[in-house]
Amino acid sequence: MKAVVLAAGEGTRLEPLTETRPKPMLPAANRPLLEHVVEAVREAGIDELVVVVGYRRERIQSYFEDGDDWGVSIEYAVQEKQLGTGHAVLQAEPFVDGAFVAMNGDRIVAADDVSRVVERLEETGRTTLAVARSERPSDYGVVELEGEDVVDVVEKPPAHTTSSDVINAGIYGFDPGAFDALRATDADGELAVTDTLERLARRDAVTAVMARGRWLDVSYLWDLLAVNGRVVERDVSPSARIADAASVVGDVALGADVRLRPGARVLTGSALGDNVEVGANAVVENCVVLPDATIGPGAVVRDCVLGENASVGANATVAGGDADVAVNGTVHEGVRLGGVIGDNARVGGAASLAPGSIVGNRTVVETDSGVDGRVPSDALVRRG
């Protein structure tokens, strides 16, 4: 059996980070989300993968190549235009000649749940859907069940319009007839997998498996911090250079050639990518720091995502904490996000970011300046 992994999407809600990389290549514990998915598939006993790529696909293909380093064989199907998850699955048809599992490439799942979907599919011959319970079901596809039978799937319904807290967990078991079912589905605009599942459910053709293991989704920037905090374990590269007076506390991942200067403190929940430097007496806590970033002496950076080759100047402050953050016109209240600093952005010395601030790629925040809110890419923030 093959696994079809959907990794063609852009992830606009995660800008500015997804301006330069596809969403599945965002890191959790210094590894792309997609790598966690590939490893779960392999642990489930599936070693043939079809990865559907599209937006900035070269980032995925150059990283995973043929999959040999992960003990799997990877073929790539291309979705030239992002026309929905159902359309993405259809791009894999030339590579699949039997029953298969499909899943999202940006959602970390447990290998045991992948195995259970496969087992149910093989036992029943029916389309199989992994489901989970959520405190915010309207953010996902809500699933109505009668026993283990799926009777309806509604994609992101308005809040308080459904009584179900069961959601689509993003692991599907399909027989080869799924491709015909997808083609036969009428869709208004993009074709989603859930459009076809809804049709099949009305014919009593879909069964559900409750996910029991880890199920971690990154929909928003603050989710990246939360997911990183869930998966990061203490992992210090042998090439990391930690000064005698520096300290690393709790579950922290330090990539290759990370440098911690004297008095630097990296606290639990943080993942620092390759070639990151943390200056003397700086404090980093609950952060995702991408490769080649620099945090200056005396800086305090909490609850922050720091992009690739970005820099935070001496004595700058990202204080961390809860904030109200607007995304695509919707305000999300009380989310844990100290700030996001995009790729190649520069935050000057003694500058400060209020909780929830988002600084775009290549933007410069001058010394002693303050940011409170969202600043677009390629901007300049002056003092006063």
Measured distance CA(253)–CA(269) in Å, rounded? 8
Sign of CA dihedral 33, 36, 38, 41: negative
pLDDT band at 5 (very low <50, low <70, confident <90, very high): very high
Written as six digits, the tokens of 275 are 């070639």
Domain with CATH 2.160.10.10 in the chain: 223-381
Pick the CATH number of 2-219 from 1.10.600.10, 3.90.550.10, 1.10.3720.10, 3.40.50.620: 3.90.550.10
Measured distance CA(196)–CA(252) in Å, rounded? 42
113-122 pLDDT, tens digit per residue, is 999 999 999 9
286-320 pLDDT, tens digit per residue, is 999 999 999 999 999 999 999 999 999 999 999 99
95-111 pLDDT, tens digit per residue, is 999 999 999 999 999 99
Chain-centroid distance of CA 290 in Å reads 14
Residue 253 Rama label (left phi>0; alpha psi -120 to 50; beta) = beta
**CATH fold for the domain made of 223-381:** UDP N-Acetylglucosamine Acyltransferase; domain 1 (2.160.10)
Measured distance CA(245)–CA(222) in Å, rounded? 31
What is the DSSP annotation of 292-337?
Answer: T-EE-TT-EEESEEE-TT-EE-TT-EE---EEEEEETTEEEEEEE-
Measured distance CA(6)–CA(102) in Å, rounded? 7
Domain with CATH 3.90.550.10 in the chain: 2-219
Q: Hunting for tokens 């080869």 — which residue is that? A: 176
What pLDDT is attached to residue 187? 77
Q: Indicate whether 36 pLDDT > 70.
A: yes
The pTM (predicted TM-score) of the whole model is 0.94
Q: Computed over its alpha carbons, how large is the radius of gyration of the chain? A: 22
Q: What distances in angstroms separate CA 378 from CA 40, 309, 346, one per listed residue?
A: 38, 15, 11
pLDDT band at 160 (very low <50, low <70, confident <90, very high): low
What 3-state DSSP class applies to 85? helix
Written as six digits, the tokens of 223 are 């989710």
Q: What is the dihedral of CA 50, 51, 52, 58, to 10 degrees?
A: -140
With b for 16 or more beta-carbon neighbours within 10 A and e for fewer, the 75-102 pattern comes to: bbbebeeebbbbbbbbbbbebbeebbbb
342-376 pLDDT, tens digit per residue, is 999 999 999 999 999 999 999 999 999 999 999 99
